[in-house]
A and B are shown apart, each in its own frame.
Chain A
Amino acid sequence: MGVEVRVEGLTKSFGSQNIWSDVTLTLPPGEISVLLGPSGTGKSVFLKSLVGLLKPERGSIVIKDTDIVRTSEHRLYEVRKLFGVLFQDGALFGSMNLFDNIAFPLREHTRKSESDIRWIVLEKMDMVGLQGAEGKLPGEISGGMRKRAGLARALVLDPEIILFDEPDSGLDPVRVAYLNQLIVDLNAQIDATFLIVTHDIGTARTVPDNLGLLFRRHLAMFGPREQLLTSQEPVVRQFLNGRREGPIGMSEEKDVAQVEAEMAALEARGGDQHNGVGPKGASGGDAVPPQLEPSPGLPERQAQRRRQERVARMLHEFDPATAQAIRASLPEDLLAQADAGVFAPTPLAGGRHWAAESAPAGGAAVLPGPRGRS
């Protein structure tokens, strides 16, 4: 099963330039989470912090009882073996061909025979649609191919936590659709914890269990996908609808008067529902589209039931629209339990926004409330 990643109060600066502060979130084990945010808000920096490549000044990142921020170099190398990371540009080794690139982790960390390695590498290359390109050098292939090769390399060691930095950038829409399906299928097969950074709203709406948005040096919101998809928060709505009207500007933040004027003009035109289609799969309104299912023939995602139990316990904490959307995704038995008041409301606890694994499922346990929006 995937590994839980618990981030608390994380703050990162370069010199005097603060990138983000006080980021608190938990990636539930085995679930798929998507992190959104305007360019330059430090999403890549966040991913690099998770694998210990950058050291945040404050806060903690706990994975399997190890705090990545403060652990020893030696232990860090151990924990990193849990990770598969797809960097923004693939980060392939320029001096090796694709086959050697993908075989690299196997040759370094396993004692597999060369024929086993060959078999695994070819299988992964097939999976990402790169068959026949084994002998090519990274400099000789397109950006989209580099990305897929990077993905194949991230997958060869069967990681328990997989981080993607913009897996869809540089890919055509059909490839993105295949890639999204691949992500969901992978999740069903290996039950790893996924965190995807993306600018593709279509992906953000349909793939993840959880959604988060980084904005103005803070985590503006993080929670079950329904929470963001139905959110009335101006920033979230602007981002998910891919429009200019709203608090996010081209480079600087906008002043309040301008934002209000823009929003009024938008309302006059009929609001998001009538605003047509935005870029990158952004479509009008706050509908919650159905989540992508694993391909036929694959097992059900194990995280699915865990997540349903988790959000059922949190049901009372959301506003009506979100609760409505979540209820629509829950099976009968959990709904019945929730309505019977089995999941008793509890006061906010410790900044956690989802129930801990150890809480007895179905019991009237003391459950932590959601992280309040600050």
Chain B
Amino acid sequence: MTDGEKPKAPGLLDGKLSPLRPLRASGNLFAFALDVARSLPRRPFQFREFVQQTWFVASVTILPTALVAIPFGAVIALQLGSLTRQLGAESFTGSASVLAVLREASPIVTALLIAGAGGSAICADLGARKIRDEIDAMEVLGISPIQRLVVPRVLAAMVVATLLNGLVSVVGVAGGYFFNVVLQGGTPGAYLASFGALAQVEDFWSGEVKALVFGLIAGIVASYKGLNAGGGPKGVGDAVNQSVVITFLLLFAVNFVMTAVYFQLVPPKGQ
């Protein structure tokens, strides 16, 4: 060995400050997403795994989602209840709260839960398999972990996210009704009658589309981080943590973009 190729001692900041690091990281994530897309049509489709994962992700997200959706709907109802009274537009209370729940509250709650509960569970599961060498063993046995494990999980996250969005919409609207009518003394008839005044069906569908994309992103990021976990149990913990933070950042950014696009495509009612 010549002096020129003497191994360097690992330094503390080795490449950590390189401007290329974030670029490389997002490039890898994107390449991974493409791999997943390419594996999607590959047969045999892992139907059992898909059903199991859907059930698993649903079981870790449904209860927390419902529990978060109720106070969320209540807060919106309280805010709108007093705001509409101040503006003298009490007849629009019901409509405005439905609008707020459908358009913003349910995608946000879905994003929080699918990333925080669903994504972290997927990431922890895959990360644990990775550090136990299960993933490597699978590859050596000639089976692609992406086709076998990741595709069903991403699809499961997407399905569950759309279901969650529906759940949040229902629970949020019901919670809003309860708080407005029962606690703030609003009139049930007026509340229900104004339902359709501002909100439209497209609002619901836009929420569902958002949820689908959120599920996709959460599933991909969680799987990517899980499969790249390293360095023992601590590595899995770090991977879960990073996966949740990255997913949050991505989801809120994507939510903003999709909302902006939505308003371009679907004109608000009454215009």
What residues make up the interface of A, taking CB atoms closer than 8 Å to B?
Answer: 13, 15-18, 21-22, 48, 51, 53, 77-78, 80-81, 83, 85, 87-89, 91-94, 104-105, 108-109, 150, 217-218, 374
Contacts and interface: CB of A to CB of B under 8 A. Distances in A.
Interface string B1-23: 10001011111001100000000
B142 A15 contact: no
B238 interface: no
B134 A92 contact: yes
7 contacts: A16-B9, A16-B15, A18-B7, A53-B136, A87-B133, A93-B129, A374-B1
Interface residues of B, number: 23
Given A22-B1, A89-B133, A91-B132, A108 B141 contact: yes
Contact of B134 (A21, A83, A91, A374): A91
A21 B14 contact: no
A78 B139 CA distance: 11
Contacts of B143: 108
Contacts of B11: 16
B136 A48 contact: yes
Interface in B148-163: none
Interface of B: 1, 5, 7-11, 14-15, 128-129, 132-134, 136-144
Contacts of A81: 142
Contact of A94 (B1, B132, B136, B141): B132
B133 A104 contact: no
Nearest to A88: B133
Interface of B is mostly: loop
Contacts of A94: 128-129, 132, 134
Contact of A53 (B1, B15, B139): B139
B140 A51 contact: yes
B11 to A, nearest CB: 7
Given A77-B142, A85-B140, A104-B141, A18 B8 contact: yes
B125 to A, nearest CB: 9
A69 B262 CA distance: 48
Contacts of A18: 7-8
Contacts of A22: 1
A15 B7 contact: no
Contacts of B134: 91-94
Contacts of B142: 77-78, 80-81, 108-109
Most chain A Cβ neighbours within 10 Å, of B5, B11, B132, B133:
B133
List the 3 closest pairs (A to B, CB-CB), nearest first: A18-B7, A91-B133, A91-B137
A109 B128 CA distance: 26
A60 B73 CA distance: 62
A105 B139 CA distance: 11
A16 B8 contact: yes
A85 B139 CA distance: 11
Contacts of A105: 141
Given A89-B132, A91-B132, A91-B134, A15 B14 contact: yes
B8 A83 contact: no
Nearest to A48: B136
